[in-house]
């Protein structure tokens, strides 16, 4: 059974004529006749009494309301797909990690709203694992997360690296560790840690780094918002290892202090580079190849990529200085 057969069937019931139905459908009368004959063969009973006027049989009367409903749904689906191709969609949904939402996306969001004012932009701050899950479930169109090749390595996934950033130590302004310009790893293990909750890429990164040092992290608390981190840290001797952009709002806070971590002195250069890489995170944008066929999604994707290129250029210029 094909949709054009049902459309031919409905056209005949409306015009009461095979010939008029052929004109309405833009095909020959013989084509209409073949479509109805094939449909009758599929159903196993006649649909019309062949007389001066095409009159429905009992089987035709049973089929008509169903055929009308199917064709109506087909028309709606076809229109929605056409709207997608032409860039007419009601909303675009993005999931991103908290620091990206706060400090990376705002200028991009403003530009997108200017370019596509008719598209409702919805942005949700989530941990990396959760953001990738809602992307896989089709609840968002793009996710901007900390890279995890085990979760993003799939044939349909499109991934763009946006930037890499070092992980620093956040502490209270009067914390004993402020005596160091670069904090030795051996000093970090002396103090209780505040970490992200399970499901956040940063939790895995910090845990892996401590395991690399062959020491046990002293986890005192698990949180999931940067405001909560700052509120707890400024109260005592707890510390947190957080990525650079997540600390943007902390640099001007006189109750807090930030220090980089001293890379460990290892036996080989290769191992030292490896250890240093463990103290940084890579932020990526993830979507699926089919979504990039939709103009608003592709436009947002390219805006973020271009902004990422500019960010990496600025980072390289700072390093050269």
pLDDT of residue 313: 59
Cα within 13 Å of Cα(247), Cβ side: 20
* Phi–psi pair at 281, nearest 5 degrees: -130, 150
pLDDT of residue 102: 86
Which residues make Cβ contacts (< 8 Å) with residue 98, sequence separation at least 6? 125, 225, 226, 246
pLDDT of residue 233: 94
Joined together, the tokens standing for residue 44 give 């196993």
Distance CA 58, CA 55 (A): 10
* Cβ atoms of 249 and 164 closer than 8 Å: no
Distance CA 223, CA 240 (A): 11
pLDDT of residue 51: 75
Nearest to residue 180, comparing CAs of 249, 257, 253, 238?
257
pLDDT of residue 175: 95
Q: Which domains does the chain have, with CATH numbers?
A: 3-85 (1.10.10.10), 91-162+288-320 (3.40.190.10), 164-280 (3.40.190.290)
Q: Which residues does the chain have with pLDDT short of 50?
A: 267-269, 272, 275-277, 318-319, 321
Q: Model-level pTM greater than 0.75?
A: no
Which whole-number Å values give the CA distances from 8 to 1, 2, 14, 157, in the listed order? Answer: 12, 10, 10, 41
């Amino acid at each position: 059974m094909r949709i054009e057969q049902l459309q031919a069937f409905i056209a005949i019931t409306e015009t009461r004529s095979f010939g008029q139905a052929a004109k309405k459908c833009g095909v020959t009368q013989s084509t209409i006749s073949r479509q109805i004959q094939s449909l009758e063969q599929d159903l196993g009973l006649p649909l019309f009494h062949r007389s001066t006027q095409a009159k429905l049989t009992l089987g035709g009367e049973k089929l008509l309301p169903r055929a009308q409903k199917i064709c109506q749904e087909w028309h709606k689906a076809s229109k929605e797909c056409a709207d997608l191709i032409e860039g007419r969609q009601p909303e675009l949904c993005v999931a991103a990690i908290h620091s990206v939402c706060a400090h990376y996306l705002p200028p991009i969001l403003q530009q997108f709203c200017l370019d596509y004012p008719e598209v409702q932009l919805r942005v949700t701050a989530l941990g990396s694992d959760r953001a990738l899950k809602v992307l896989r479930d089709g609840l968002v169109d793009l996710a901007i997360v900390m890279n995890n090749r085990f979760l993003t390595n799939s044939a349909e996934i499109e991934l763009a690296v946006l930037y890499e950033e070092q992980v620093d130590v956040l502490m209270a302004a009067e914390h004993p560790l402020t005596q160091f310009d670069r904090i030795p790893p051996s000093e970090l293990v002396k103090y209780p840690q505040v970490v992200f909750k399970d499901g956040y890429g940063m939790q895995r990164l910090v845990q892996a780094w401590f395991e690399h040092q062959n020491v046990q992290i002293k986890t005192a608390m698990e949180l999931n918002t940067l405001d909560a981190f700052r509120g707890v840290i400024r109260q005592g001797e707890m510390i947190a290892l957080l990525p650079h952009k997540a600390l943007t709002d902390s640099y001007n806070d006189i109750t807090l202090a930030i220090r980089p971590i001293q890379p460990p002195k290892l036996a080989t250069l290769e191992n030292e580079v490896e250890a240093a890489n463990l103290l940084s995170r890579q932020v990526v944008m993830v979507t699926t190849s089919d979504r990039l066929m939709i103009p608003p999604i592709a436009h947002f994707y390219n805006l973020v990529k271009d902004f990422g290129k500019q960010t990496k250029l600025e980072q390289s210029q700072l390093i050269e200085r």
